[in-house]
Every structure is written in structure tokens, then in C-alpha cells.
Structure 1
Amino acid sequence: MSEGSGPSVAARDDLAGVVDLFEWLTREELSRAVSELAFKRRAEVDPDAIDAAIDAAVAEYALVRVPPEAVSTDEGAPEEAADPLAVGPAAFPSLPENAADLPHILDVPDRAVDRGTLSEAVHDRLSADAVSAMNEGDADRLETLVDVTYDVEAWTPVDASPIRERIVAELDGE
């Protein structure tokens, strides 16, 4: 992960790359994976920095929360997957150094995500985030969300144009 005052785009894409190795990971598993990578690099592990990087990746749609009913393993649906995360529409997954060893280290079963359920959840979240940003008058967030509407459409077969049009109208003061 890169250094600085906040998580970088590269850090978010590295997180997405780690998640992509498994199809989905819980937040706890992702934190453990990042800690393992830091250990392999003989670097200090800062749990707060890992949490901040995950939060930033979720906020920017590089990682997305998966509805628990949309996740499964080769052993069936997990009894309880706390906060499962998958690669989101704004990610350009990249593998950090030594990440190829993570499937052996974490020893998790093969996993799958129901893409239809995930797409619907991401579309719903995008709509809710847009309404929230409009209510707060957060133009910077709205600019980010406009970009995400295009990412979502490229990522999955959903039409985000109504959300985009509402955001653009808000930004244009209409």
C-alpha cells in the first residue's frame, strides 16, 4: 500500500486485486490478507490504516458490499458472512507484491457471487448515495458519483442514466 495522508487509488486497486483473487472476502479476511502482505514485506501493520484504505475503497466503489444472500462457497452458502466485499465497478484490480501466495495463506474455500443480486445492490446504493449527496449539497461527491454511473454501466448491464441525469441536473443547478 502506498504512503501518504490517505489511501491512494493504487492502494484501493491493490485491495480490489486481493479480493479478486477470491471472488469475495469479508472485511476481516481482507484486513488479514493485507496484514499478511505487510508481514511478508517486513513492514509495520497499522490496523487503522488498513481500515481507512478499505473504507476509501468502498466509498469510491472500488470495493462493494455484497448482500449476504449473494455470496456462496464451494461448500454452499456460508452461514454468516460478515460484511462480504467484492470488486466494484470503479476498480482496476492490481495484485500487490506476494499476493499470489494469499490463497495458500488464507485457506478459504472457492467462492462465488451472484452478479445479478450484486448489480442490483450496487445500483440501489448508487441511487441512495446520489440522493444523500444532493441533500447535503456535496458537489465533490456528486462529481465522483457521475463517474461511477458510467463505471456501473460498463461493469454490469444496468441503466444508471436516470441517476446520472439527476446528478448532472443538480450540479447544473436545474
Structure 2
Amino acid sequence: MRSFKIQLAQYRAQVTQTIVDLLEQNSLAPTTYSESILAQFSKPTILVIEDNVDEWFLIRWMLSKQFQEAEPVWLSSADQAIAYLNSYGLSEKSLPVMILLDLYLPTAEAGLALLESIKANPLFDAVPVITISRSNDGEDRTSAFDRASNDYVVKPANYKDWQQHFSLLINYWEKSVL
């Protein structure tokens, strides 16, 4: 476990430095960071909507291990996600192959409203949305599935469980990419 914590800290430092370098090189505003990253890669994207930066680093780490051929794009709020998704109608960007949506953004109501908005848009209704949350509450699960979430994953407490949960997402990946 100690080795993982050291690797995660090194990874965080590397990602932070990359962000700083990109911001300095391109004079980017932080709100356009995800869009600039997306423009630089022709890889399929996995959209991650997560308001906790520590959880984002862990999710990014897991995605880099499980989906090396994908480029994760991080948005930290429902407002950012709506603006980002609305930009698809104005551009030639490829749709994300999967969306990982934190339920509590910071409230369940905000996450559920965003989920409902995504699934109501005909452009995105076929994109798998996997709701992720620390909550194991049955009502949260039911609410997510009632709004057409494709799956509900309780955020694991340890590295091994994170690996196991993310390996299960390969089914959505294969259906979207193939």
C-alpha cells in the first residue's frame, strides 16, 4: 500500500506540472484546460465529472491503467459539464465513449439533474453513463437508475477494489469503441 501511495503522489505531481506547463505555454484559462487537452489528442475520450480533486487523481490513475488507449477529460462541476457537453453541437468533436458521473456534485440532486440532462439529450442518450458515488444507499441507486444511469459503482475504499471495479467498465468501453 505504501508503494501505491508513493506512486500516486508522484503521479499527482507529474499531472500538476503538466497542467502548469500547458497553462504557461498556451496562456490557457483553467476552464479551457480540458478542451485544450482534448484538441491535442485523437484518442477516444472518457468524460469524468468529479468535484473532488483527490478522487479525480485516483480515477485518472485507474483509467490510465485500464484504458491506456483513452484520454480522460475532467470536469469538476455540473455547470462545467453542461457547458462542455453543449459545445458538442457547435464542433466536430467525437462524443465521449463513456461518462463517469459522481452522484454528489456536491449534492445528489445536482448529480441526478445532470444525469437527467445528459440522458434527455438525443446526442448523448446512447453514451453510457456510469454513476459513481461513496453512497451505498438504495435510494441513491434507484434514483440514478430511474434517470437511465447505465450502472452504479460505489467508490471503493482501497486500491485493489478500485482496480476490480474499473476492470468491470471494460464492457462499456468495448460496446462504445468497437
| TM-score, with structure 1 as normaliser | 0.32
| Bigger relative CO (Cα 8 Å, ≥ 6 apart) | 1
Write 1 or 2 for the structure with the bigger share of strand: 2
TM-score with structure 2 length normalisation?
0.31
